[in-house]
Amino acid sequence: MKTLDDFNFEDKKALIRVDFNVPLDADFNVTDTSRIEAAKPTILKVLEDGGSAVLMSHLGRPKGKVNPDMSLGHICEKVSEIIGVEVKFVEDCVGKKVEEAVGNLEVGEVLLLENLRFHAEEESGDKAFAEQLAKNGDIYVNDAFGTAHRAHASTTIVAQFFPDRKCFGYLLAKEIKAIEKVMRTGEKPITAILGGAKVSSKITIIENILDKVDNLIIGGGMTYTFVKAKGGQVGDSICEDDKTDLALDILRKAEEKGVAVHLPVDVVAADAFDNDANTKIVDVDKIPDGWQGLDAGPQTLENFRKVIVQSKTILWNGPVGVFEMERFAQGTIAVGNFVGQATQNGAFSLVGGGDSVAAVKQFGFEDKVSYVSTGGGAMLESLEGRTLPGIAAIMG
């Protein structure tokens, strides 16, 4: 696996695919800078070697058309501030104007190209477009894990034009190693905590990790499909009725493989999907009609705690309650604390997938876990056992 450390960038232009698809407010201010901060070490390594950096990214979904609201020009100042170097900007990513800007780039300078997705050829993985992008650098660096599962021109196809001059940036290398630690080299006992609303969205992950984990903790909305499958009453809780056979199949496979499955035993039930609803603690399989489970109950959390704190490797993907509502966030906060405690005791913990990452950030657990993944879809596809095209392109 070639990383930045395998290259010296002296007098070289690094063409770096970053993931600057960051949220902006109505005045185009960046409201979460973590993706920019995550790319900083890669950019600085190139500059410190005596090279220059050409950054390319997408922002939003302009669908192949120029949309001024999604211009990367809006974030240029913020990128400059975070990296500590004034970042230049050019209003396209291919063509004469870009080639000129790249040609004028001095050692130690950084140039940000305009939104790649203003060109439809980016998402279609057009080879001629990728070849034009390739003219913008001497060495290709992919540091965008968030788009590594897409075979786009800038993430995958462009690598063909750098047969011996391509590598992973520090961020992408860290992501690959973190997933490997869970899926291949993790110290036992290995525990996967899977939450979220639907079994159907996690089925491939569950099937792929059953051979690797010792414990599978199931929480969140998925719980009720399993409970109903086992003959329990789930009231008005979210439930995929057509997936009950699948849930039983998962439990059977887990038993065959010696994986301990930990389902909630009690829940915080509410009489409406509302922060101000009436609530009560009920057994998970005795939720009355008109009530729905919205968070893990106290006995469930105690059971989860015992499993999590004695784990040596932990994967956390998905909240265990409706954490967006304060009344139903306590279970997810508790799980975060348990994972933090295990990490402090020497466990390796990886958090990935949109909602669990959002929860970790919201409740301040970022520094209490080993690694928070920057890529939602890419992370999930890795856990499903798929080879991501953006990673394969650098390895090939």
Q: Enumerate the known binding-site residues for substrate.
A: 19-21, 35, 58-61, 117, 150
Strand partners, 313: 190, 348
Give the span between the Cα atoms of 159 and 12, in whole angstroms.
17
Catalytic residue from among 73, 354, 361, 385: 354
Give the span between the Cα atoms of 82 and 122, in whole angstroms.
27
* Under 8 Å between Cβ of 196 and 222: yes
Backbone angles phi, psi at 312, to 5 degrees: -105, -20
Handedness of CA 8, 148, 360, 70 (dihedral sign): positive
Catalytic residue from among 40, 198, 305, 386: 198
* Under 8 Å between Cβ of 295 and 328: yes
Q: Write out the binding residues.
A: 19-21, 35, 58-61, 117, 150, 202, 293, 324, 353-356
* Under 8 Å between Cβ of 51 and 13: yes
Q: Write out the binding residues for (2R)-3-phosphoglycerate.
A: 35, 117, 150
Question: What residue has token string 């015992």?
Answer: 306
CA dihedral 118, 119, 125, 127 (to 10 degrees): -140
Query: In 3-state terms, what secondary structure has residue 18?
Result: coil
Catalytic residue from among 12, 17, 35, 368: 35
To the query of whether residue 198 is one of the catalytic residues in this protein, the response is yes
To the query of whether residue 73 is one of the catalytic residues in this protein, the response is no
To the query of whether residue 336 is one of the catalytic residues in this protein, the response is no
Nearest to 224 by CA among 197, 262, 255: 197
Q: Write out the binding residues for ATP.
A: 202, 293, 324, 353-356
**CA separation (Å) from 32 to 27, 36, 44, 174, 346?**
14, 9, 21, 20, 29
Give the span between the Cα atoms of 71 and 117, in whole angstroms.
10
To the query of whether residue 327 is one of the catalytic residues in this protein, the response is no
Strands 292-296 and 52-56: unpaired
DSSP per position, 254-272: HHHTTPEEE--SEEEEESS
Question: What residue has token string 């909305």?
Answer: 221
Backbone angles phi, psi at 119, to 5 degrees: -110, 125
Tokens of 160: 């063909």
Tell me, what DSSP letter sits at residue 138? S
Give the span between the Cα atoms of 154 and 17, in whole angstroms.
7
Backbone angles phi, psi at 41, to 5 degrees: -60, -35
Side-chain-side CA neighbours of residue 192 (13 Å): 28
Q: Which residues are catalytic?
A: 35, 198, 354, 377
